[in-house]
Structures are given as C-alpha cells and as structure tokens.
Amino acid sequence: MSCNRRTVGVAGRSGRRGLSLLELIAVVLLLSIVAAVVVPRLGGAGRDVNVQSCDRNREAIDLHAALHLRNTGSWPQANLSDLAATLPEGLPVCPIDGSAYTFDSATGETVPHAH
C-alpha cells in the first residue's frame, strides 16, 4: 500500500505560492478598519493646531501691548496699528477665519474670538 504525501511548507501551505482569496479579503478588511480609526483623528488635528495658533497670537499681542504700555504710558489703539512696527512679521490675523485682532484697553487684553 502506497501513501501519497504532499510536502507542507513553513507557513502550512502545501507547495503553493501566493495568497488565497480569503486571506486577501482578511488583509483588506483589517486595513480598512485601521484606516477608519486613524483618518478621522488626522482630520481634526488641523483645527486644533489653528486654535492653538490663534491663542499664541493673542498672547504675543498681549505681551507687545504690555511693552507698549511700559514704553509709552498708554495702551495701544483698538486696531493695534501702533503695534505693527514692533511685531516682527506685522500684525497677525486669526489663522481660522482670517479676521484681524482687536485690543480692549479697559481690560488690557486682546479681544477673544468665537471659534
């Protein structure tokens, strides 16, 4: 009685090459699940960075306004035109909506935006 044996490879396959349709579907499904989890998180990151950038701009303006008060004895104008020369890149604008910042001399702070 003779017994036919097939050689089994390292991965448990019997001498064939490539992926089966089931293995290919499993890989595609796994990659789509990973993409569904990761992509939405990347999309919202841009807005968070812009909000942080807007906050940093307001802090820089507040600092320059305090220096202006110390040097001149008065707060800058509401439209910040007298600070334009002291800011290295000119007056910044809000990175989210492109609006100009305004200054409230009663509080000594840049007026916050509604984002």
Q: Which residue has the higher pLDDT, 10 or 26?
A: 26
Whole-number average pLDDT of the chain: 83
Q: Which residues contact 92 (CB under 8 A, 6 or more apart)?
A: 57, 60, 61, 101
Provide the pLDDT confidence category of residue 67 given band limits of 50, 70 and 90. very high
pTM of the model: 0.60
Give the pLDDT of residue 43: 67
18, 9 Cβ separation under 8 angstroms:
no
Which tens digit of pLDDT belongs to each residue from 73-112?
A: 999 999 999 888 878 788 899 998 899 999 999 999 999 8
